[in-house]
Amino acid sequence: MSELSVNHLLGIKYLKESDIQLIFETADHFKEVINRSIKKVPSLRDITIANIFFENSTRTKLSFELAEKRLSADVLNFSASQSSVKKGETLIDTVNNILSMKVDMVVMRHPNPGAGIFLAKHVKASIINAGDGAHEHPTQALLDSYSIREKLGDVVGKNVVIVGDILHSRVALSNIFALKLQGANVKVCGPKTLMPKYIESLGVGVEMDLRRALEWCDVANMLRIQNERLDISYFPTTREYTQQFGVNKKLLDSLDKEIVIMHPGPINRGVEITSDVADSKQSIILNQVENGVAVRMAVIYLLASKIK
């Protein structure tokens, strides 16, 4: 297959396994490009991309911008907090005004689940979801799987546990879809109050005991406690959360194998993982960030080739 089955990247849920493999093969090429002394290719000189962010971001925003620039696209950056959204302009009006400046593609982060799906139905541009509320974060899941593939050779058959706030996490949902599609075995681990009731219907196991989860897995993807999405208390105190679901070096070293530690960032150091775990040789957290640029270049390149 040489082209994606979709015209937008709204969620992993809408992708086929062959789409993921095509993205990874394309990302392999771009990873080689960005390690050259001249890190740029002229592929998208005729494409203009708007990055519109209605929520804070460090990694995703910078990674998309760098990916676009490495592909030689023209780039517009829009931050809702400094825009006419503050004067009451709607999402569709905002995006249609941006598109009337001859923009071809929109990368959007939005606090509302489904915002990208809504936009794709109402505007004429290719849409990439850069995280929509507690729904999906597809490029994060793609770069996570790409990093597992790079570290362990393959994703199929690997045991991956996702630990933490599964209920509010778009990273968890997109990772579950991506890992299952590629044939990995997936478990989730975290407080019962942060476990969605439908979780087992997604084909994942639930393990409430962190040590047992770590003994089972090849990879532990540690999620951040998202205080900004917790309207009520889901666990007694942060200290008790850390005691039950935090990974420290003593626990990591007590396992009879070397597991891979991942985290989408930003890290709450000392909450879900201690600094000596985050910075250990078992951690691939910064490799995930590095791979994010190549994976996003691949996604943008493949979607742009469908609108040319």
The minimum distance between CB 167 and ligand CP, in angstroms, equals 17
Is residue 24 exposed (0-12), middle (13-18) or buried (19+ Cβ within 10 Å)?
buried
The amino acid occupying position 232 is I
Closest by CA to 148, choosing from 135, 136, 164, 159, is 159
Cα separation, 171 vs 166, in Å, equals: 9
Residue 58 is a binding residue for ligand CP (CB under 6 A)? yes
Instruction: Pick the stretch among 51-59, 191-199, 253-261, 277-285 that binds ligand CP (CB under 6 A).
Output: 51-59
In order of 72, 166, 187, 283, the CA distances from 205 in angstroms are 43, 13, 4, 24
Residue 229 is a binding residue for ligand CP (CB under 6 A)? no
Cα separation, 36 vs 55, in Å, equals: 33
Is 113 marked as a binding-site residue? no
144 versus 207: smaller Cβ distance to ligand CP = 144
Is 48 marked as a binding-site residue? no
3 versus 228: smaller Cβ distance to ligand CP = 228
Is 212 marked as a binding-site residue? no
Output the DSSP codes for 254-283: TSSS--EEE--S---BTTTB-HHHHTSTTB
Residue 164 is a binding residue for ligand CP (CB under 6 A)? no
Q: Which of residues 132-151 bind ligand CP (CB under 6 A)?
A: 140
Instruction: Pick the stretch among 83-91, 146-154, 194-202, 258-266 that binds ligand CP (CB under 6 A).
Output: 258-266
Is residue 193 exposed (0-12), middle (13-18) or buried (19+ Cβ within 10 Å)?
exposed
143 versus 303: smaller Cβ distance to ligand CP = 143
148 versus 185: smaller Cβ distance to ligand CP = 148
Q: Per the omega criterion (within 30 degrees of 0), is the bond before 266 cis?
A: yes
The minimum distance between CB 293 and ligand CP, in angstroms, equals 13
By CB under 6 A, name the one of 157, 203, 236, 266 that touches ligand CP: 266
Is 265 marked as a binding-site residue? yes
Is 269 marked as a binding-site residue? no
Cα separation, 98 vs 133, in Å, equals: 22
Cα separation, 296 vs 287, in Å, equals: 14
Size, binding site for ligand CP by CB under 6 A: 9
Give the residue ranges of the annotated binding site for L-aspartate: 87, 170, 224
Q: Which residues are annotated as a binding site for carbamoyl phosphate?
A: 59-60, 109, 137, 140, 265-266
Which spans of this chain sit near ligand CP (rule: CB under 6 A)?
57-60, 131, 140, 264-266
